[in-house]
Amino acid sequence: MYAIAVEPGAGDPTVVEKPIPEPETGEALVRTLRVGVDGTDHEVISGAHGGVPDDEDHLVLGHEAVGVVEDPNGTDLEVGQLVVPTVRRPPNGTNHYFESGYPDMAPEGEYVERGIVGGHGFMAEYFTSPADYLVPIPESLASLGFLVEPISISEKAIEHAFASRSAFDWRPESAMVLGNGSLGLLTVAMLVETLEFDRTYCLGRRDRPDPTIDIIESLGATYVDSRETPVSEVPAVHERIDFIYEATGYAPHAFETIEALAPNGVGALLGVPSSWEFEIDGGALHEEFVLHNKALVGSVNSHRGHFESAIDTLSQLPESFTDDLVTGVYDLDSFQDAFVDDDTTIKTAVEFDTI
């Protein structure tokens, strides 16, 4: 079979030929339909993040997949069932994070991530996976199933952020997403369509006309240009925000979020920046944190429950939104186009097969 792989740091991904994998006991064989591309893939390709499996010189990419069960191999799955695989797997044997159902809370070293670090991904014509890590999805979502994984990331972040506000009668009205990449836009859609915030904002640094600004506005959200209105000035220009979702990886945003939050508000941090020293008014931020009962919650990855919530969320997102979001689906012959990252590209996927 064909797969799309990289030697991390070596540059562009290439097509490699590999044997069709054979499922072990408890695993099913899945025929891949589509696999999405996101910023993490670009970081893996550049070598900024991730790593090859032990004893391998390459990594098969892809962690946002949807496929069809080809061989249930004695598991409870059925031939033809549509599934989305979760991403984390135990590194050797298992550990209590996986046993308790919270692999997303495992610290480094206690997991591999398929397609990212230590485990081959799903950008191949077939992949195997323990059936426990394959989440069934309805056939109606086949073409968009590769969005389940990124949505699940936001399901988790939102769950954790809201949990931090569960000890009182929190009534958030305003939300802001920092970052207008595909994850940011999916989250704007969630905040507007399923969480029903009264007022939702999305911060970016793009000039009009721009397709991401068009999406933000067609959802009824407000675009905020960070070059005109830095995060710390959002309260003065717009309002103080109850829930802020950071998906830029721009480290000052993590700290400016404290200023931009409304009293009793919470910020979810999802970006993964590198070391960067800068000055903050730590005293004022600390005081603001305390006197206004604010919270910051870091969030990475997601567990099966978040995938199940994400399937429900995906089914509620308007078709007009997903049509605009997915700017390209490419077959194996033109797979490189799925990795182009320019201002007209929002979300792409590689298509290996159709249902």
Q: Binding residue per annotation — 181? A: yes
Q: How far is the CB of 134 from a second copy (least distance, A)?
A: 22
Instruction: Round the CA-based radius of gyration of the chain to a whole number and report it.
Output: 20
Indicate the residue among 2 and 289 with the shorter CB distance to a second copy. Answer: 289
Please give the backbone phi and psi of residue 214, each rounded to the nearest 5 degrees, phi first. Answer: -60, -40
Least CB distance to a second copy at residue 325 (A): 24
- Contact between 102 and a second copy by CB under 8 A: the answer reads yes
From the CB of 299, what's the least distance to a second copy, in Å? 6
Is the separation of the CB atoms in 301 and 153 below 8 Å?
Answer: yes
Strand partners, 83: 67, 136
- Segment near a second copy (CB under 8 A), from 29-37, 80-88, 121-129, 251-259? 251-259
**Contact pick of 12, 24, 92, 291 for a second copy (by CB under 8 A):** 291
Report the relative pairing of strands 295-298 and 2-6 from DSSP bridges.
unpaired
- Nearest distance from residue 233's CB to a second copy, in Å? 18
Number of residues that bind a second copy (CB under 8 A): 56
Q: State yes or no: 232 annotated in a binding site.
A: no
Task: Give least dist CB 245 to a second copy, A.
Answer: 12
**102: burial class by Cβ within 10 Å (0-12, 13-18, 19+)?**
middle
- State the nearest-atom distance from the C-beta of 100 to a second copy, in Å: 5
Q: Are 69 and 85 spatial neighbours (Cβ–Cβ below 8 Å)? A: no
Q: Which residues contact 193 (CB under 8 A, 6 or more apart)?
A: 219, 316, 317, 318, 321
Site string for a second copy, 192-231 (x = CB under 8 A): ----------------------------------------
One of 175, 202, 254, 350 touching a second copy (CB under 8 A): 254
**Per-residue x/- track, 147-186, a second copy (CB under 8 A):** ---------x--xx--xxxxxxx-----------------
- 174 labeled binding residue: no
Least Å distance, CB 191 to a second copy, is 18
Q: Does 25 help bind a second copy (rule: CB under 8 A)? A: no
Q: What is the Cα 10 distance to its own chain's centre?
A: 24
Regarding 300 and contact with a second copy (CB under 8 A), the answer is yes
Nearest 10 degrees: CA dihedral of 341, 219, 304, 142? -70
**CA 2: distance to chain centroid?**
25
Are 8 and 51 in contact, with CB atoms under 8 Å apart? Answer: yes
- CA 62 → CA 34, 75, 119, 193, distances in Å? 10, 24, 10, 28
Footprint (CB under 8 A) of a second copy, residues 321-350:
none
**CA distances (Å), origin 95, targets 68, 92, 100, 109:** 29, 9, 9, 11
Helices 182-193 and 148-163: crossing angle, nearest 10°?
60
Q: Binding site for NADP(+): residue ranges?
A: 180-183, 205-206, 270-272, 299-301
Contacts with a second copy by CB under 8 A lie at: 100-102, 104-105, 107-108, 156, 159-160, 163-169, 249, 251-252, 254-255, 263-264, 269-300
Q: Binding site for substrate: residue ranges?
A: 40, 113, 149, 301
